[in-house]
Chains A and B, each alone.
Chain A
Amino acid sequence: MNYPNELLYSKTHEWVKEEDGVVVIGISDYAQDALGDLVFINLPEVGDEVVAGEAFGDVESVKAVSDLVCPVSGTVCAINEELLDSPEMLNEEPYDAWIIKVENETDREELLSAADYEAFCAEEG
């Protein structure tokens, strides 16, 4: 399992990266492994307001549908449209396959460092 050091992680298994004042959000390697092969993704639209701790979309695997929980509050300024046709990118390259970008961040959940997140995942089993 891969936990890149330069990222921050939420306890609901999303990763967060800051890029020129914009927050980039995806799901972790642990999340994609636990979900299994992803077959569908539901994304918000550019301009939507997202709220820290609340769902901003969902992903569907052959096992189940799971909410994507937003680690920050703000406005969606970009979505990764490639994922709509190729959700498998989330399985193949979870850290390259960003899901949304959020600007004007007003709030964020408590986020974990790579080391703390790795320990958290180990506890989850």
Chain B
Amino acid sequence: MKLIFEKSAAGHRCAILPPCDVEEVALPAELTREAAPKLPELNETEISRHYTELNKRVHGVNCGFYPLGSCTMKYNPRIDEETAALPGFTAVHPLAPAHTVEGCKEALDTAKAYLCEITGMDDMTFQPAAGAHGEFTGVMLIKQYHDARGDSKRRKIIVPDSAHGTNPATAAMCGYDVVNIPSAPNGCVDLEALKAVLGEDTAGLMLTNPNTVGIFDENILEITRLVHEAGGLCYYDGANLNAVMGVVRPGDMGFDCIHLNLHKTFATPHGGGGPGSGAVGCKAALAPYLPNKDGIRVRSFHGNFLVVIKALTYLLTLGKEGVPEAAKNAVLNANYLQSKIKGTFTPAFDRLCMHEFVLDLSGFKKETGVSALDVAKSLIDYGMHPPTMYFPLIVHEALMLEPTETESRDTLDEAAEIFRKLFELAKTDPDYMHAAPHNAQIGRPDEVRAARNPILRYSFE
């Protein structure tokens, strides 16, 4: 398909500006540009067709099953969008006098109160624009806490080897040394490995629970106790909160601060590059270091305000009973799908899971030559988005599935049947799967070339 710049034709436009009714003022020469910006010129029909064409080429939650593990691709209710589009929320300015935007303030305060209640935290900021930004903010809180106490020897952040890659990256960006600890054979934190690295140089631990293999770490209270005993703080990566929201609170597990991905767990759209909201909550001891106070900012104003409105709408729609019910259904759906797939592909950890589970295709690959990548690509031919591949790194040939609570039993049955078909097909026609997908507009893009020689902007030459 043509890029929007290639569709551009001089003079095409969709907006007709009204005549200027104020006196024209010339900008000083140093503020005016020498050449006009090279913006694409299209009329409304052309723009509409352009985006519709793009829409046809992607797979979203509105198109079909999207069990992308760790990403919580749940359906985003339309009512969230409708609320966020109310003029009372959209036609305001962040610098408007406080008494003219009291409704917005109340919406933010209400969202904060509910989310603090769900997470067991005392205070929260909505400034961070997304998850990794929230992580950075959260770990900076930990750093500020130690620095304010003059405790400068705490240089290390502990991260399990099953963690999301953003955790060690965040710790490093905050200037900490990252200490990786191996997972126990059951995929959880190895208590002995943790004890071995804890000490007076420990700044904190970053953990997600349930963890990245979809297992709730039953030693969590012992883990957070050990870290606190060593003088460190515990950071909860909210990536997997969908499994436990409204059921158990990170604050009660012993965590001191947390980031939430409002754009995934609380059903505002994500996966398209934003906007997101990486709200950061913390216990009272860290609250003095939150952004928004004393002019400390990680982003302008209240962050992505309308994303918070969507999350608040989601919470109000589900209510106190609905939030834990959604979490329990997410866990039920994952276990249902895991049990239906078991017997063909092998779960990496053969036990009850939380909201997601990981398949280990290493034995299958040895037997048939068909890799996790081949299976993922083959699923595209069935109108299903592939699961997360090759993550977490502690499982070889991993496929990680997270069906979410918003899928019906029929969808899960259908998905299990597709997996069974592919399991059989790999034995009879592996070459067909090596070349999959066969019906997609794009088959196997050259990821290596894209990573080595990325083309990041349109060239007008």
Contact = CB atoms under 8 A, between A and B. Distances in A.
B148 to A, nearest CB: 30
B447 interface: yes
B165 A65 contact: yes
A63 B388 CA distance: 11
B448 A39 contact: yes
B434 interface: no
A64 B390 contact: yes
B456 interface: no
A40 B447 CA distance: 13
B165 A88 contact: no
Interface residues of B, number: 10
Contact of B447 (A60, A62, A125): A62
A39 B452 CA distance: 5
Given A64-B165, A65-B165, A39 B393 contact: no
A62 B373 CA distance: 12
A62 B451 contact: yes
B155 interface: no
B144 interface: no
A118 interface: no
Interface string A17-50: 0000000000000000000010110000000000
A121 B452 CA distance: 29
Interface in A58-103: 60, 62-65, 87-88
A125 B361 CA distance: 12
A125 B395 CA distance: 11
B162 to A, nearest CB: 13
B249 interface: no
Contacts of A40: 451-452
Contact of B390 (A39, A63, A88): A63
A63 B376 CA distance: 14
Among B390, B393, B451: residue with most chain A CB under 10 A: B451
B375 to A, nearest CB: 15
A125 B362 CA distance: 8
A65 B163 CA distance: 13
A39 B393 CA distance: 18
A125 B396 contact: yes
Contacts of A87: 452
Contacts of A65: 165
A67 B451 CA distance: 18
A12 to B, nearest CB: 11
A39 B446 CA distance: 12
A37 B393 CA distance: 16
Contacts of B390: 63-64
A32 to B, nearest CB: 13
Interface residues of A, number: 11
Chain A: interface secondary structure? loop
Contacts of A60: 451
Contacts of A63: 390
Nearest to A63: B390
Nearest to A85: B452
Interface in B82-132: none
Contact of B393 (A62, A64, A88, A125): A64
Contacts of B447: 37, 62
A62 B396 contact: no
Given A64-B390, A64-B393, A39 B165 contact: no
Contacts of A62: 447-448, 451
Contacts of A39: 448, 451-452
Nearest to A124: B396
A54 to B, nearest CB: 10
Nearest to A60: B451
Nearest to B454: A39
A66 B452 CA distance: 17
Contacts of B451: 39-40, 60, 62
Contacts of A64: 165, 390-391, 393
B213 to A, nearest CB: 16
Interface string B328-344: 00000000000000000
- Among A39, A60, A65, the most chain B Cβ lie within 10 Å of the Cβ of A39
Q: Which of B362, B390, B393, B452 has the most CB of A within 10 A?
A: B452
Interface in B152-210: 165
B318 to A, nearest CB: 36
B452 A88 contact: yes
Contacts of A125: 362, 396
B387 to A, nearest CB: 15
A81 to B, nearest CB: 16
A124 B378 CA distance: 28
Q: Which 9 A-B pairs have the closest CB atoms?
A: A39-B451, A37-B448, A62-B447, A63-B390, A39-B452, A64-B393, A62-B451, A62-B448, A39-B448
6 contacts: A37-B447, A39-B451, A62-B447, A62-B448, A87-B452, A125-B362
